[in-house]
Amino acid sequence: MIEALERKLDQLIREPENGMLLNEIGIFLFQQREWELSELYLERAYRLASDNPEIVINYAELLGRLGSTERAIVLYQTYLVGAEDEAVREKLGDCYYYLGQYEAAEKIYSRLHKP
């Protein structure tokens, strides 16, 4: 695992503007529960490639984990403008719920498809 991270960091030296590479490093750090380091990489990935849905979702997930729920909401909403994704819609509802905005959460949840 460490070797893979070292390879990615070496590649990052050669490609510092590679948003997907920054995303991969951020996800690795997220999986290691290195929240603050993960945020550094995912935030930079987002700044470089804010139109990439994978990066937007990963960054929003991390922000939610760190308690930056309002920022996560903005990212989820941005993502949902161009996509219909039930899992992301549910995460957006969860964010509103965690903030105590139950009516907004219910509105989001009511749009989810029922099995």
Written as tens digits, the pLDDT of the chain (115 aa) is 778 778 888 887 888 899 999 999 999 999 999 999 999 999 999 999 988 989 999 999 999 999 999 999 999 998 898 788 899 999 999 999 999 999 999 999 998 876 5
Residue identified by tokens 């893979």 is 4
- Quick one: pLDDT at residue 84? 83
Q: What DSSP designation does 114 have?
A: P
- Ramachandran angles phi, psi of 67, nearest 5°: 90, 5
Residue identified by tokens 């991390």 is 62
- Quick one: pLDDT at residue 64? 92
Q: Which superfamily, per CATH, for 2-110?
A: Tetratricopeptide repeat domain (1.25.40.10)
